[in-house]
Amino acid sequence: MLAKRIIPCLDVKDGRTVKGINFKELRDAGDPVELGALYAESGADELCFLDISATLEQRRTFAELVKEIAKNVNIPFTVGGGISNVKQVGILLEAGADKISINSAAVKNPQLVTALAKQFGSQCVVVAIDTRLDGTHWLVNTHGGTLATPLMAVDWATQVYNIGAGEILLTSMNHDGTKNGFALDITRTISEKVNIPVIASGGAGTMHHFTDVFTSGKADAALAASIFHFKEIEIRDLKRYLKQKGIETRI
């Protein structure tokens, strides 16, 4: 069995790490380069840096920040935010990113997923799916969670898998920042539909929540932010706990 991955996420706005609840009420959580280096030393398997306002502000993720991150971490990291074409991805990978994450641009132009996979390999292409439960349907949202679409999350996940995505980063907007646990049902449904890793995001609050998402949710990796940023859970302690529960992790 492949080891389950623990991935701290740094949502970056105006050069600072921020964290909110349900994509709102953002508060400062520190310098992204310093936090990234700290997590790399603390046992994180990977890192994820998302420039959360880049699409809304119609600008590109800053390659200079990526270069600084690359100098200070020794584990794989994914960069996302405002990426809309092959050229931008080439710049970010050259600056030191290992993977890129696209969301809004993929919904607008699904062929971009295929183009990126052909140019750089599927292993570099993470499709982020921000989804909100609307009645009985999990719908895809874009533009930092501000724009609802009619796309069903399961259908969209299946589509991007078929056209070249190497991983799916699935965030439940209903659960984001609540610390009440991951969205297990939608995570499990998508994990069973696609034959690529699914990273679960949104709702981590306790170590047991990670056990749930790896077992009931069938996720391959779990991403969290505030519980790590504000020292509520230490990554090495979490990995030891998961080992005790029979869940394989890299320690």
Residues with catalytic function: 11, 130
- In sign, the C-alpha dihedral spanning 105, 82, 91, 47 is negative
Strands 24-30 and 16-21 turn out to be antiparallel
- Provide the angle, in degrees to the nearest 10, between the axes of the packed helices 207-215 and 235-244: 50
Q: Quick one: DSSP state of residue 249?
A: B
Helices 184-193 & 153-163, crossing angle to 10 degrees? 30
Give the three-state DSSP class for 2: coil
Radius of gyration of the chain (CA): 16
Q: Are 163 and 110 in contact (CB under 8 A)?
A: yes
- How far is 236 from 50, CA to CA, in rounded Å? 23
* One-letter amino acid for residue 102 of the chain: I
Contact 23, 173 (CB under 8 A): yes
Half-sphere exposure for 167 (CA within 13 Å, toward CB): 23
DSSP 121-158: -GGGEEEEEEEEEETTEEEEEETTTTEEEEEEHHHHHH
Please state, in angstroms and rounded to a whole number, the distance separating the CA atoms of residues 242 and 178.
22
